[in-house]
Amino acid sequence: MLPQGRPMGCGGVISRAEVLILIDIMALCIALYVTKSTAIWH
């Protein structure tokens, strides 16, 4: 989707696609963290 080798937020401007990708990554990290902690407790 995004051109390879392009610095993220080029010129301090982050495109909507980059924001969505960042949100997706953060959601995945949170989901993994929650499943790991619940797996430890249960």
| Residue 37 half-sphere exposure toward CB, CA atoms < 13 A | 6
- Name the residue range of residue 16's domain: 11-41
pLDDT in tens, 1-42: 555 555 554 555 667 888 889 999 999 999 999 998 887 766
Question: pTM value?
Answer: 0.52
Report the b/e string of 9-35 with b at 16+ CB within 10 A: eeeeeeeeebeeeeeeeeeeeeeeeee
Contact 1, 15 (CB under 8 A): no
1 lies in some domain: no
24 lies in some domain: yes
3 lies in some domain: no
6 lies in some domain: no
| Residue 41 half-sphere exposure toward CB, CA atoms < 13 A | 6
Residue 11's pLDDT is 55
34 lies in some domain: yes
Q: Is the dihedral of CA 34, 36, 40, 42 positive or negative?
A: positive
